[in-house]
Amino acid sequence: MKDLVLESAALCDEVARVQESIFVAKEERRFLLKKLLQYRQQRDGPIETVRPAHASAPAQTRSSSPPTMATLGATLDSIDKPQAKSSKKVLKRRNTKEGLAEEVPRAKRRKPAGADKRLVAPIPLDSCGRPLFPIVLPGCKVHSLGEIVTDRAGFHCQESLYPVGYCSSRIYASVLNANHACIYTCTILDAGTGPRFEIVAEDAPERPFVGSSPDECYVALLRAVNRTCGAEVIVPAARGADFFALPHPTIQNLVQSCPGARKCPNYRWVRFEVSRSATDETERLDSDPYLSYAAFRQLCLQPRLAAIAAASEPSLPGGVTIKQEPLDTV
């Protein structure tokens, strides 16, 4: 009980001290405002006074004599008093039943599209807070974030930034033999007026896939894989940005945090929040044949090869098959 009394006394002293500091601040404000009005009156001559709109007498454009200290004090008092009265009226009105009944809930402001935060998983950082490379993501690695180009509009769009020097790698079907996996290196280079995107296969570095957009070189890669298989085992789709890992939340958050990102006017900023509860994309990646070599083999390559093998086997009506015996050698 004694402790509560002492704590209450300390709180009362603190409240008194705060009230005293507020009073001193108000007095200083009034004094400075008086000095400001006097200075303006001496510099510009008589102060203009404007009457309220509901007054019956015509408004005076200029006063004939400079305002006195009493007039200035009354003006200063009128600055604070109406606000205090109005706030008291609002409090009284809210505390009554009529005020509670008349209060209408305000309509919630709708958030613009893309305003919600996206969660990203934390990544290893060095002692200076910079990411440690390579950044390992599900299915790919990012080796460099590059540098953002701000003086040319072709190096960014509404959905993505294209930093020069960006480099990532991913495992996918080889263009020489689709049954074998191959490491592909994806880079963004400076082509003058805009970026140049390249996808280079480890087993065929002399045949890079080049384009002015990530979709262009990625579609060329898929067509080369289809030619290797002898049939269209996978339909070319515009998934180049995903193959480069540019839209990945972790990479997009890091890229838009690089110097110069705020100077890209057409880019639509995305809000991110680092959280350990961020969902992993491993399960989604394992079933995506455009980004995962294992999914490509299971969903595209093996069914196509099985269909070709079934079509090449001779068959008779009724499901009777001919068993081929080896020829006798003399």
pLDDT at 148 over 90: yes
pLDDT winner (highest mean) among 39-48, 209-218, 308-317:
209-218
Tell me the pLDDT tens digit for each residue of 168-221. 999 999 999 999 999 999 999 999 999 999 999 999 999 999 999 999 999 999
Please indicate, yes or no, if residue 28 is contained in any of the structural domains: no
> What is residue 329's predicted lDDT score, i.e. its pLDDT?
45
Instruction: Supply the pTM of this predicted model.
Output: 0.61
- Distance between CA atoms of 120 and 271, rounded to whole angstroms? 10
Tell me the pLDDT tens digit for each residue of 17-34. 888 888 888 888 888 888
CATH number of the domain that 158 lies in?
3.30.160.360
> What is residue 117's predicted lDDT score, i.e. its pLDDT?
82
In the block, residue with structure tokens 């996206």 = 118
Please indicate, yes or no, if residue 35 is contained in any of the structural domains: no
Exposed/middle/buried for 243, CB within 10 Å: 0-12, 13-18, 19+?
Answer: buried
Please indicate, yes or no, if residue 272 is contained in any of the structural domains: yes
> What is residue 18's predicted lDDT score, i.e. its pLDDT?
87
Please indicate, yes or no, if residue 183 is contained in any of the structural domains: yes
Please indicate, yes or no, if residue 202 is contained in any of the structural domains: yes
Share of the chain above pLDDT 70, in %: 71
Domain encompassing residue 177: 122-305
User: What is the pLDDT averaged over residues 98-118?
Assistant: 54
pLDDT at 99 over 60: no
Please indicate, yes or no, if residue 195 is contained in any of the structural domains: yes
Please indicate, yes or no, if residue 55 is contained in any of the structural domains: no
Helices first, then strands: H and E counts in the chain: 9, 8
Cβ atoms of 107 and 100 within 8 Å: the answer is: no
Please indicate, yes or no, if residue 301 is contained in any of the structural domains: yes
SS3 content of the chain, % helix, strand, coil (to 5): 40, 15, 40
What's the number of domains the chain is made of? 1
pLDDT at 96 over 80: no
Tell me the pLDDT tens digit for each residue of 267-312. 999 999 988 887 666 667 778 999 999 999 999 998 887 877 777 7
Residue 293's H or E segment, with its range, is helix 293-296
